[in-house]
Amino acid sequence: MQWWRGADREARRALVAGTVGWMLDAFDVMLFALVLPAVIVDLGLSRAQGGLLGSITLVAAAAGGIAFGWIADRFGRTRAMMLSVALYSIFTAACGLAGSFSAFAWCRIGLGIGMGGEWASGAALVSESWPAEHRGKALGLMQSGWAIGYALAAIVSGVVQPRFGWRAVFFVGILPGFFAIWIRRRVKEPEIWRTRGAAAHARGRIPAVFQRRLAPLTIVLTLMNACTLFAWWGFNLWLPSYLKAAPSQGGIGLGGGAASAFVAIMQVGMWIGYVTFGFVSDRFGRKRAYVAYLIAAAALLAIYVTIRVPAVLLMLGPAVAFAATGYFSGFGAVTAEIYPTAIRATAQGFTYNTGRLVSAFAPYTVGTLAQTHGFGAALLVCSAAFLLAAVFWIWIPETRGRALT
Q: What's the pLDDT at 405? A: 66
- Distance in angstroms (rounded) separating the CA atoms of residues 392 and 119: 22
Q: What is the pLDDT of residue 260?
A: 80
How is the chain split into domains, by residue range? 2-189+206-395
Q: Is the pTM of this model over 0.85?
A: no
**pLDDT in the model for residue 367:** 84
Q: What value does the mean pLDDT of the chain take?
A: 86
pLDDT in tens, 152-211: 888 888 889 889 999 999 998 888 777 777 776 778 888 878 775 344 545 556 788 888
Residue 44 CB coordination number (10 Å): 9
Q: What angle do CA 85, 86, 89 make, to 5 degrees?
A: 85
CA 316 to chain centre: 22
The pLDDT value given to residue 199: 47
Rg (CA), the chain: 20
- DSSP one-letter string for 120-167: HHHHHHHHHHS-GGGHHHHHHHHHHHHHHHHHHHHHHHHHHHHHH-HH
So what's the pLDDT on residue 1?
Answer: 63
> Torsions phi, psi of 6, nearest 5?
-80, 0
Tens of pLDDT, residue by residue over 7-25, are 778 888 888 888 888 888 8
What's the average model confidence in pLDDT over 120-137? Answer: 84
- Between the alpha carbon of residue 382 and those of residues 101, 115, 242, 307, 318, the distances in Å are 26, 22, 14, 16, 17
Q: What percent of the chain has pLDDT over 90?
A: 27
| Rounded CA separation 265/261 (Å) | 6
Nearest to 135 by CA among 192, 64, 88, 85: 192
Region 98-124: mean pLDDT is 88
pLDDT of residue 198: 40
pLDDT band at 150 (very low <50, low <70, confident <90, very high): confident
Q: How many residues does the chain have?
A: 405
pLDDT tens per residue, range 223-252: 999 999 999 989 988 888 888 888 877 788
Give the integer Cα–Cα distance in Å for 260 and 113. Answer: 26
Q: How many CB atoms lie within 10 A of CB 196?
A: 12
Ranges of H-type helices in 195-285: 215-244, 256-284
What is residue 292's three-state secondary structure?
A: helix
Residue 201: predicted pLDDT: 46
Cα–Cα separations (whole angstroms), residue 233 to 3, 113, 217, 227, 280: 32, 16, 24, 10, 24
Residue 163: partners with Cβ closer than 8 Å, 6 or more residues away: none
What pLDDT score was predicted for residue 48?
Answer: 81
Burial 98-119 (b: 16+ CB within 10 A, else e): beebeebbbbbbbbbbbbbbbb
- Whether the per-residue pLDDT at 290 is higher than 60: the answer is yes
Instruction: Tell me what the mean pLDDT of segment 336-350 comes to.
Output: 85
- What are the distances in angstroms from CA 70 to CA 73, 79, 136, 194, 384? 5, 12, 23, 15, 33
> 403 and 338 in contact (C-beta within 8 Å)?
no
Phi first, then psi: give them for residue 80, nearest 5 degrees. -65, -40
305-335: pLDDT as tens digits: 888 899 999 999 999 999 999 998 889 889 9
State residue 397's pLDDT score: 92
**Of the candidates 29, 385, 368, the residue with the CA atom closest to the CA atom of residue 230:** 385
Q: Which CATH superfamily is domain 2-189+206-395 in?
A: MFS general substrate transporter like domains (1.20.1250.20)
Angle at 337 between CA 333 and CA 339, to 5 degrees: 120
Lowest-confidence region among 82-86, 152-156, 235-239, 341-345 = 341-345
Q: Is the confidence at residue 33, as pLDDT, over 70?
A: yes
